[in-house]
């Protein structure tokens, strides 16, 4: 467990968990599909989701990076946060809810938090020589799907096994982001002047995950026409995710395999929310808000 995470759910939740653990389980209605589940089972599951998802996907990498800040700055290192296309489908309205409300801490929220952290690290320490980027490895057939009741069996599992890239291929986008020539990918303002380090916020991807069909804000959906756009984005993203690896094998790295800069969801550039996620993460990780340099 990472520093400060024992209290991540707050004293009340911790006390409730302890009380639930000490209660007798009560009758088990194994043969009744309509029987109410014991309250402690729901509480345990909710706490498991609340504590583990943000810690594994966001708070752990955040804490490690913060604890290594002095060495990272001294060596002018580059930090790569592994993110996901799923960051495009959600927003974070309350940074603390990432750690205190399981509805605000799903996988997509954590991946958006990873983008925020990469960008905030670049804003805060880019001028000191540290480089921080976000990198999307694309659709990769890892063990993450094996424990999913929806994705770990049947037709979808067959499609994933045959159409998603192997882990060693997915790692290539991350390796490129970690080792590419920083100056070669330097972007400029509209007037031609170079971006300052705090402005140089980089998101890397490759293959179909750099296409305009995915790199837009339709993913957020909404009401009316926005919902229609969101549905179109969702359906097209599923289809394209299954086509990415086959197309790259067919066409070769020259046409499809090159990792390059692309735009994340526009909300990923929200500097205010980025700072709030940084500060909330520092609180729950038990580290100072200001960089340790």
pLDDT digits (tens, 9 = 90+) for 207-260: 999 999 999 999 999 999 999 999 999 999 999 999 999 999 999 877 788 999
> Are 196 and 254 a contacting pair, CB within 8 Å?
no
DSSP state letters, 167-230: HHHHHHHHHHHHHS-TTTT--B-TTSPBPPGGG--EEEE-GGGGSTTTSSSGGG--STHHHHHH
Q: Is 40 a residue whose pLDDT tops 90?
A: no
Task: Give all strands of the β-sheet with 202-205 in edge-to-edge order.
Answer: 78-82, 131-135, 202-205, 260-261
Q: What is the pLDDT of residue 104?
A: 87
Work out the average pLDDT over 34-57. 62
Torsion of CA 51, 83, 246, 236, to 10 degrees: 90
Q: For residue 177, is it within any domain?
A: yes
Helix 271-285 with 107-125: angle, nearest 10 deg: 100
Q: What is the mean pLDDT of residues 124-141?
A: 97
Average pLDDT over residues 121-136: 97
Q: Please compute the mean of the pLDDT values over residues 189-196 and round it to a whole number.
A: 89
Q: Are 136 and 79 in contact (CB under 8 A)?
A: no
Both tokens of 22, joined, read 């000490």
Rounded Cα distance, 69 and 122, in Å: 12
**What is the pLDDT at residue 145?**
83
Q: How confident is the model at residue 50 (pLDDT cuts 50, 70, 90)?
A: low
Contact residues for 276 (Cβ-Cβ < 8 A; gap 6+): 95
Which of 33-42, 99-108, 118-127, 263-272 is least confident? 33-42
Residue 247 lies in a domain: yes
Residue 293 forms part of a structural domain: no
11 vs 207 pLDDT, higher one = 207
Residue with tokens 């500097």: 271
Q: What is the pLDDT of residues 53-87, one digit of tens each?
A: 888 999 999 999 999 999 999 999 999 999 999 99
* Predicted confidence (pLDDT) per residue in 14-36, tens digit: 334 334 434 443 433 333 333 44
Taking Cα atoms as reference points, which of 46, 56, 151 lies closest to residue 100? 46
User: What is the structure's pLDDT at 46?
Assistant: 57
Would you say residue 29 lies in a domain?
no
Q: Is the pLDDT of residue 12 over 90?
A: no
The CATH number assigned to the domain holding 99 equals: 3.40.50
Number of domains within the chain: 1
Q: Which of 127-131, 144-148, 220-224 has the lowest mean pLDDT?
A: 144-148
| Lowest mean pLDDT across 44-58, 115-129, 144-158 | 44-58
Its pTM stands at: 0.82
pLDDT of residue 100: 87
- Domain interval for residue 173: 5-22+35-285
Lowest mean pLDDT among 41-45, 46-50, 234-238, 274-278: 41-45
Least confident of 10-19, 125-134, 161-170, 250-259: 10-19
In a domain, 30, yes or no: no
Q: Does residue 130 sit within a domain? A: yes
Contact indicator for 89, 108 with CB cutoff of 8 Å:
yes
Query: In this structure, is residue 27 part of a structural domain?
Result: no
Judge whether 139 and 241 are in contact, CB under 8 Å. Answer: yes
Mean residue pLDDT across the chain: 85
């Amino acid at each position: 467990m990472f520093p400060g995470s024992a209290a991540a759910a707050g004293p009340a939740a911790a006390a409730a968990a302890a009380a639930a653990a000490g209660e007798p389980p009560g009758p088990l209605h194994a043969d009744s599909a309509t029987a109410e589940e014991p309250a402690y089972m729901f509480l345990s599951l909710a706490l498991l989701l609340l504590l583990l998802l943000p810690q594994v996907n966001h708070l752990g990498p955040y804490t490690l990076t913060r604890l290594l800040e002095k060495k990272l700055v001294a060596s002018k290192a580059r930090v790569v946060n592994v993110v996901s296309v799923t960051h495009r489908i959600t927003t974070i309205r309350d940074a603390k809810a990432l750690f205190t409300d399981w509805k605000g801490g799903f996988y997509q929220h954590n991946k958006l938090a990873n983008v925020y952290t990469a960008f905030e690290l670049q804003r805060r320490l880019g001028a000191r020589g540290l480089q921080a980027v976000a990198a999307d490895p694309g659709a990769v057939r890892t063990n993450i799907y094996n424990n999913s009741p929806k994705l770990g069996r049947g037709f979808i599992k067959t499609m994933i096994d045959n159409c998603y890239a192997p882990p060693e291929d997915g790692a290539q986008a991350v390796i490129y982001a970690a080792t590419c020539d920083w100056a070669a990918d330097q972007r400029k303002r509209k007037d031609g002047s170079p971006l300052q380090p705090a402005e140089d916020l980089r998101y890397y991807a490759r293959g179909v995950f750099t296409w305009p069909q995915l790199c837009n804000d339709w993913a957020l959906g909404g009401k009316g026409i926005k919902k229609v756009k969101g549905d179109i984005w969702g359906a097209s993203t599923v289809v394209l995710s299954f086509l990415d690896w086959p197309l790259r094998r067919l066409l070769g790295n020259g046409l499809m395999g090159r990792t390059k800069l692309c735009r994340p969801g526009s909300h990923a550039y929200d500097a205010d929310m980025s700072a709030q996620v940084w500060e909330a993460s520092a609180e729950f990780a038990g580290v100072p808000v200001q960089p340790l340099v």
